[in-house]
């Protein structure tokens, strides 16, 4: 038996239908907003003196072993965020040396976090005050949070038998004691301050208004970028230079859920497809069975 033209067109039709279903408009993906009591940080590169007191304080407050590898075991000297470092001060300097800036990196506490969208069992999820929390009992260690995070924040304990995901949780264990995050508490110059997202944005805009031309594009990074973040930045150098990606205002979660969200919304599409397949299969099964029986009779089996 050869393949008829009609069958081929049907095959192609199915493939194209799949493609159409897969490219339905973004209507179903929801746009998430920050909770009213969202807490965060404001970091201002023009104020930071690069003393790294926040790095040491963070390590102590979070019971982490200081990363002393680069200094031969003498003092804390992390080169990047890692399984022992939830907060780091890095230095950007342009090749000609004319432009430089410190940069504080830690979890941005996204308004619509990609990690929480990617995490299969919601081990990473927005908790109280909009803080992105990690729940060990739900984490399978798949590391898709690391793949999805636009800021490369979550880190994994590669060498451990029982590895954890390590990332800043805004010192949420200190907040009930009336304490602020360790980094803002120790900062001697107020380069990083703690508060509600609304207050921090107001303060950032006040600084911009008071100092025209001082800040890059007179803009607060994180107000809208990637769906908004609860940690926001003011910088005198382009944001992209200090590792803040300039990739628009749509959150990764929103981008990622566009297709997935439509296809799996209420399981409607899978259910309809299953019903169609089951209906066809029931008919085909009977016909093919009868044929097989007939075929066996002809063969005197």
Interaction residues for other proteins, span 79-118 (CB under 8 A): 80-82, 114, 116-118
Q: What is each CA distance from 287 to 10, 135, 269, 301, in whole angstroms?
A: 20, 53, 28, 19
Residue 60 near other proteins by CB under 8 A? no
What minimum distance in Å lies between the beta carbon of 248 and other proteins?
Answer: 9
Q: Which residues contact residue 148 at a Cβ distance below 8 angstroms, ignoring those fewer than 6 apart? A: 114, 115, 117, 118, 252, 256
What minimum distance in Å lies between the beta carbon of 9 and other proteins?
Answer: 9
Q: Which of 95, 161, 178, 188 binds other proteins (CB under 8 A)?
A: 161
Q: Name the strand (E) or helix (H) holding 165.
A: strand 165-166
What minimum distance in Å lies between the beta carbon of 149 and other proteins?
Answer: 9
240 neighbors 221 (Cβ within 8 angstroms): no
Q: Which of 60, 91, 94, 285 binds other proteins (CB under 8 A)?
A: 285
Nearer to other proteins, 140 or 198 (CB): 140
Per-residue contact track with other proteins, 111 to 150, x per CB under 8 A?
---x-xxxxxxxx-x----------xxxxxxxxx-xxx-x
Of the candidates 220, 281, 227, the residue with the CA atom closest to the CA atom of residue 250: 227
Q: Which of 35, 100, 157, 236 binds other proteins (CB under 8 A)?
A: 157
What minimum distance in Å lies between the beta carbon of 195 and other proteins?
Answer: 29
What minimum distance in Å lies between the beta carbon of 55 and other proteins?
Answer: 17
What minimum distance in Å lies between the beta carbon of 63 and other proteins?
Answer: 20
Residue 228 near other proteins by CB under 8 A? no
Number of residues that bind other proteins (CB under 8 A): 81
Q: At what angle do helices 268-298 and 252-264 cross, to 10 degrees?
A: 50
How remote is the C-alpha of 49 from its chain's centroid?
29
Give CA–CA dist 190/209, Å, rounded: 19
Tokens 């409607």 map to which residue? Answer: 268
What the block records as the tokens of 24 is 């339905």
139 neighbors 116 (Cβ within 8 angstroms): no
How remote is the C-alpha of 178 from its chain's centroid?
28
With contacts defined by CB under 8 A, name the span among 59-67, 159-167, 209-217, 231-239 that binds other proteins.
159-167
Residue 210 near other proteins by CB under 8 A? no
Nearer to other proteins, 30 or 218 (CB): 30
- What's the chain's Rg over C-alpha atoms? 27
Nearer to other proteins, 44 or 112 (CB): 112
What the block records as the tokens of 61 is 């407050």
139 neighbors 169 (Cβ within 8 angstroms): no
Q: Taking CB under 8 A as the criterion, which residues in 166-185 touch other proteins?
A: none
Q: Taking CB under 8 A as the criterion, which residues in 28-57 touch other proteins?
A: none
149 burial via Cβ count (<10 Å: 0-12, 13-18, 19+)? buried
Per-residue contact track with other proteins, 245 to 284, x per CB under 8 A?
x-x----xx-xxxxxxx-xx-----x--xx--xx-xxx-x
Chain length of the chain: 301
Nearer to other proteins, 215 or 221 (CB): 221
């Amino acid at each position: 038996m050869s393949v008829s033209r009609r069958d081929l067109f049907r095959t192609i039709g199915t493939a194209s239908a799949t493609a159409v279903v897969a490219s339905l408009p973004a209507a179903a993906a929801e746009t998430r907003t920050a909770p009213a009591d969202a807490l965060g940080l404001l970091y201002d590169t023009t104020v930071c003196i690069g003393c790294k007191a926040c790095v040491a304080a963070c390590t102590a407050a979070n019971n982490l072993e200081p990363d002393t590898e680069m200094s031969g075991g003498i003092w804390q000297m992390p080169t990047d965020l890692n399984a022992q470092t939830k907060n780091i001060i890095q230095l950007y300097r342009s090749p000609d040396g004319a432009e430089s800036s410190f940069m504080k990196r830690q979890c941005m506490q996204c308004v619509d976090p990609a990690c929480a969208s990617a995490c299969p069992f919601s081990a990473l999820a927005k908790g109280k005050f909009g803080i992105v929390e990690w729940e060990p009992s739900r984490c399978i260690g798949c590391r898709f949070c690391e793949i999805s995070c636009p800021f490369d924040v979550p880190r994994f304990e590669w060498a451990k038998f029982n590895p954890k995901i390590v990332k800043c949780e805004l010192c949420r264990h200190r907040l009930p004691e009336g304490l602020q995050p360790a980094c803002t508490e120790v900062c001697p110059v107020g380069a990083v301050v703690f508060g509600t997202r609304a207050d921090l944005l107001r303060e950032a805009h006040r600084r911009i208004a008071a100092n025209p031309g001082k800040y890059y594009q007179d803009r607060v990074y994180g107000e809208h970028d990637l769906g908004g973040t609860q940690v926001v930045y003011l910088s005198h150098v382009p944001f992209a230079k200090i590792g803040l990606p300039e990739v628009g205002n749509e959150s990764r979660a929103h981008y990622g859920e566009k297709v997935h969200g439509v296809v799996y919304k209420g399981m409607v599409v899978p259910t309809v497809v299953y019903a169609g397949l089951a209906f066809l299969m029931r008919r085909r099964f009977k016909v093919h069975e009868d044929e097989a029986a007939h075929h066996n009779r002809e063969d005197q089996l």
